[in-house]
Amino acid sequence: MDDLIGRNLGPYRIVEQIGAGGMATVYKAFEPSMSRYVAIKVMPPHLARDPNFRARFQREAGIITMLEHPYILPIHAKSPEDEPIPYLVMRYTDGGTLVDLIASGSLTIERAVRLVGRVAEALAYAHRQGIAHRDIKPSNILIGRDGSALVSDFGIAKIMEDTFQFSGTGVAVGTPAYMSPEQAQGQTVDGRTDIYALGVVLYQAMTGVPPFSAETPLAVLLMHVNSPLRPPRQLNPAIPEALEQVILRAMAKDPADRFQTAGEMAEALTKASAPPTVVEPVKEVPVDAAAVTVPVAQTSPIAETALASDSVAARRPRWAWLAVGAGVVAVLLAALLLRGVIRPGPAPSPVALPTAVALPTAVALPTAAPAPAGAGQPTVSPAAPCASTIRFGQTITCELGSKVEIDSYTFEAKANDLVVVKIANESSSTVLKGSVWNAQREPIGGCIATASGTPGCKLPADGVYTIQIEVEVALSDPPFTYSVYIQRLS
């Protein structure tokens, strides 16, 4: 379809071809009304002439244009129903794909986990909307200008698959190197098919090669169905064991043995990439009762006699103290009675046991009572969650709990507001990255303050914007504490 170059497709001027595959051809085009470049995915001409395909395209395209997520490539528009050539208009990005990163050999384990984790988050969102991708692979994971992952081609495989099923060909649509066993066998698929494919992508990102390869696509499909998976650590021993377990579970032959949701896989990736927490065992310190000084208030001679042998008394069991206490009381009562017999006179007033007589409870090792609030012991309150919205002139202090976590703050602004966002990082061994996005998930450049200063960014329209904060480089362990401040300059 090279004849489209230099022509208009609707309101878009085709500039050049930037990609081609079995399902579509992708062009770079210019949209004069918005003064921006876009990517246009054009469907094959032979399918464009099929009225059934055109109807399915319009239906599915209408669904996928509603997907809005930070890690899904936004679709701006679809072709009108009367347009002879069906096409989708998407954000144009020139950051390459995951294929390029893997081929360059510069993809670190940490960055690979972060990118795949974001793809898993995008899939979790799409699956909640009832949409499965069906063709997850490195070439469908684009790299945005800010280095983030952007999943493209949602819905394309389903449109093609429905077309082939309608025509009676019974062809399974997808890329053999990344197809799940159930997909390869033409069985019903769901979100767990995407999880399997993402496990294949992670395997390849970690080792540099896909898990199964053969001379023919059919042979590759049969390997996905029948062949055992070679553990990725055999190819790359640097892969952490916890991360290998995530790959093996994602690529289980039986869908019931995989992560049941992409959100579970994203969470497992976060845990697998977190540094291990070392918990020191609590050591029991033996207490020598003989060495413990127990204060006794002005004891009587009788009590002092009872306490004469500290080392022996401290080792006596509690029943022994009860016996001693009973004996002391008996002696006192006897003495009092004798005193009344020898010296007759008026009946003595009732005599309370003197406090000077230490009962066994006064001798037993005391149990420390909890100090009252404010008496030297700080009261610890659970930390409140960070705010999700921010106002002009407000500073929010929060922390990122892992190297792959992303914090987001929304704010409302007017068209032509001049805005600057300042991010202060408390650790010199960590570099944080900030970005600002509009409601269409398009990045707004120049908003984040830098060391050399920034004039700020002028916002194009009224609406809600999003600030994203993430870890770019981390030489220390989480958490990563930061402060974010937003200012309207005019």
The contacts of residue 100 (CB under 8 Å, 6+ apart) are: 143
Predicted local distance difference test score (pLDDT) of residue 473: 74
Spatial distance between the Cα atoms of 154 and 136, rounded to a whole number of angstroms: 9
Predicted local distance difference test score (pLDDT) of residue 49: 80
Domains of the chain: 2-91 (3.30.200.20), 98-273 (1.10.510.10), 395-488 (2.60.120.380)
Residue 297 confidence class, pLDDT cut points 50, 70, 90: very low
Task: Check whether 461 has a pLDDT greater than 60.
Answer: yes
Element (DSSP H or E) covering residue 109: helix 109-128
Residue 407 confidence class, pLDDT cut points 50, 70, 90: confident
Task: Check whether 372 has a pLDDT greater than 60.
Answer: no
Catalytic residue among 50, 135, 257, 417: 135
Element (DSSP H or E) covering residue 457: strand 457-458
Number of helices followed by number of strands (H, E) in the chain: 14, 15
pLDDT digits (tens, 9 = 90+) for 186-219: 888 899 999 999 999 999 999 999 999 998 999 9
Is residue 409 within 8 A of residue 421, CB to CB? The reply is: no
Predicted local distance difference test score (pLDDT) of residue 58: 83
Mean pLDDT across the chain: 77
Is 3 among the residues known to form the active site?
Answer: no
Spatial distance between the Cα atoms of 126 and 113, rounded to a whole number of angstroms: 20
Predicted local distance difference test score (pLDDT) of residue 255: 95
User: Per mean pLDDT, which range of 30-39, 107-116, 186-195, 447-456 is the poorest?
Assistant: 447-456
Across the range 26-54, mean pLDDT stands at: 87
pLDDT digits (tens, 9 = 90+) for 375-404: 433 333 333 457 789 999 999 999 888 877
Report the range out of 92-106, 161-175, 193-207, 302-316 with the highest average pLDDT: 193-207
Element (DSSP H or E) covering residue 119: helix 109-128
The contacts of residue 194 (CB under 8 Å, 6+ apart) are: 123, 127, 132, 133, 134, 136, 262
Total residue length of the chain: 490
Predicted local distance difference test score (pLDDT) of residue 282: 52
Predicted local distance difference test score (pLDDT) of residue 1: 54
Predicted local distance difference test score (pLDDT) of residue 286: 53
The tokens for 353 are 């046991």
Residue 304 confidence class, pLDDT cut points 50, 70, 90: very low
Strands 463-474 and 430-437: antiparallel
Residue 123 confidence class, pLDDT cut points 50, 70, 90: very high
Predicted local distance difference test score (pLDDT) of residue 455: 73
Residue 281 confidence class, pLDDT cut points 50, 70, 90: low
Residue 114 confidence class, pLDDT cut points 50, 70, 90: very high
Residue whose C-alpha is closest to residue 395's, from 483, 489, 482: 483
User: Per mean pLDDT, which range of 155-169, 215-229, 253-267, 335-349 is the poorest?
Assistant: 335-349
Q: Where are the alpha helices (DSSP H) in 307-440?
A: 310-314, 318-342, 360-363
Element (DSSP H or E) covering residue 118: helix 109-128
Strands 141-143 and 87-91: unpaired
Task: Check whether 340 has a pLDDT greater than 60.
Answer: no
Across the range 405-410, mean pLDDT stands at: 87
pLDDT digits (tens, 9 = 90+) for 63-112: 888 888 999 998 898 888 888 888 999 999 988 999 999 999 889 999 99
